[in-house]
Structure 1
């Protein structure tokens, strides 16, 4: 079980549970085609973003396998919501998890995704005691792949045309890190 002590502070960011007041900022990037391009969902209208926000607000801790914790990433200096990071708990027996990130393109190129993602890896390994954490991305999403490599995750698989997403075959790339790799070379 993982019950993080909020807020989680980094040098420039605050990670915290989503709140109702985040709706407009969340919708600002969820409605963008370039954000939805590599995700399973299409760009969201306001009603769909409201439902997505409710799901995010409902989980503030990981109580059991199958749950996914999604945290808001805000700039400490201004309080602006710049994106989100997530940690999913797949298996207690095998101590497996998965992490991910989605950011507003207006804030790309500042290192925020990497800074926030490190905290999710820390929560997974040090807080939840996971043995292995994976990150997956669409094969066309070179920015996410490069970020996972910079974080020290190992590229483990490239599945060619393994899913039909939004009507077209897509590749999937899988990265992973083990607990001892995290302990030996923290980003």
Structure 2
């Protein structure tokens, strides 16, 4: 588990189905994602898959449950290690919050823990995230953590009504270190 005063990140368990359904089943939450709201069975299958991926060696994906200090699951947090060139040493983050927790600073707390995992625990050099051009709250979260807006990937994600561009933000290890210093 990775903890902060506002939120903790832990592995998913089968008991998290309903709590994750409150995130992935909500049309408002998935509006800027590449999928429609998920059913309970789809969420159960997602959690089963995440639990399998967590056992992989080497581990290339960290999909974690974001919980408040009392244990209530309120966020989905993901760090995927980029594969390809052996010296790439980077990862992509993604996050989603339960709609009733929007605007409370939890998104920034979740992303800060993902960055801590990436840089301080896994030793990555670069972390990036891609967002919908219309997702301004996500832009604010990444900017708050000094992730630099790099630009637009055209036609990046297939969504319900066609192809969508993505805006990429990134941060490098020296920027994270100096931010904490």
Structure 2-normalised TM-score? 0.91
CA contact (8 A) 1:64 1:89 kept: no
Verify: 1:82 aligned to 2:74, yes or no. yes
Shift of 1:90: 0.5
Return closer, same or farther for 1:68/1:123 CA change in 2, 3 Å cut-off. Answer: same
SS in 1 for 2:80: strand
Equivalence for 1:53: 47
CA distance, structure 1, for counterparts of residue 176 and residue 56 of structure 2? 20
1:111 to 105, 110, 122: 105
Looking at structure 2, the residues matched to 84 and 178 of structure 1 have their Cα atoms a distance apart, in angstroms, of 23
Structure 2: where are the runs of 5+ without partners?
none
Once the two structures are superposed, the pairs formed by residues 4-15 of structure 1 within 5 Å of their partners are: 7-15=1-9
- The aligned runs of 1:120-135 (5 Å cut-off) are 120-135=114-129
Once the 2 structures are TM-superposed, how far is the Cα of residue 39 of structure 1 from its aligned partner? Answer: 1.1
SS of corresponding position for 1:33: coil
Instruction: Indicate the SS of the match to 1:144.
Output: helix
Is 2:134 the partner of 1:140?
Answer: yes
CA distance in 2, matches of 1:45, 1:105: 17
Please, which runs of 5 or more residues in structure 1 have no aligned partner? 1-6
* Corresponding residue for residue 98 of structure 1: 92
1:70 and 2:78 correspond:
no
Q: Quote the Cα distance in structure 1 between the aligned partners of 2:122 and 2:43.
A: 29
RMSD: 1.8
Whether the 8 Å contact between 2:34 and 2:157 is mirrored in structure 1 is no
Give the conservation status (yes or no) of the 8 Å contact 1:62–1:89. no
**Whole-Å Cα distance in 2 between the matches of residues 129 and 63 of structure 1?**
17
TM (norm. structure 1) is 0.88
Aligned to 1:159: 153
* Paired residues of 2:131 and 2:139 also in contact (CA < 8 A): yes
Distance, in Å, in 1 between the alignment partners of 2:104 and 2:55 is: 28
DSSP 3-state at the match of 2:146: coil
